[in-house]
Amino acid sequence: MRPSPSEGSKACRSIGDKKIMRLFVAIAAASLVLLGFSAMPNAGATSFEQLIAPPGACPGAGDANAPTAVQESAMLCMTNFARRHDGLGDLGDPAKLDRSAGLKSADIIRCDSFSHEACGREFTFWMQRVGYFQTRCWRAAENIAWGTGSNGTARSIFGAWIFSSVHRENILGSYGQVGIGVRVGALDGHGGAYVWTQQFGQRC
């Protein structure tokens, strides 16, 4: 069963200053632009299914028991496969953004809140706290999702995202880097929930 798209939110600000399907996979997206503009996806007439890497192309993508690092690498592989298929460049994977994404997934579990504002924090909170933003002009976006069992694998979560326009827009957007974090814990009464976060960044 393919999850239906959730609500996405957008904002445009100057420096100086959803709802969710929980039966199998829950997804949400947000983006924020500071001194920049949101980028529209470049998918064109491309079949969305063709944006999903074939089985075996990204080791660990379908294995919920794989080590965390393997699952996160598989999600990066799935993401860059889609971008290459759409004629876009690969996204870099900086350690600070990975750390931020992992901390966001941990917040969602700790506060039992599937939200871009989990624990009462804006979705850019950890990006700023880990020191990822070091310029006065940047663009950011976030995808979050969770699922249990086989529905929590990188392949399942990515498939849910790519069939949702707001999440696909982030994946195929004009960003240069992505951080990926998955954490496992109890969420919304479900044990063993795989909580995924993708955080996209671009310095302008």
Q: Is residue 89 part of a domain?
A: yes
Work out the mean pLDDT of the chain and round it to a whole number.
82
Confidence of residue 30 (pLDDT cuts 50, 70, 90): low
Angle at 91 between CA 89 and CA 97, to 5 degrees: 165
Give CA–CA dist 174/9, Å, rounded.
17
Number of C-beta neighbours around residue 181 at 10 A: 24
Q: Is residue 156 part of a domain?
A: yes
Say if pTM beats, i.e. exceeds, 0.85: no
The number of domains in the chain is 1
pLDDT, average across residues 57-71? 97
- Whether the pLDDT of residue 175 is over 80: the answer is yes
Q: Is residue 3 part of a domain?
A: no
Three-state DSSP at 29 gives strand
CA distances from residue 99 to 19, 42, 143, 145, 157 in whole angstroms, order as listed: 26, 28, 15, 17, 20
* CATH classification at residue 121: 3.40.33.10
Q: Is residue 110 part of a domain?
A: yes
* Structure confidence by residue, pLDDT tens digits, 93-132: 999 999 999 999 999 999 999 999 999 999 999 999 999 9
pLDDT, residue 47, reads 85
What percentage of the chain has pLDDT greater than the value 90? 73
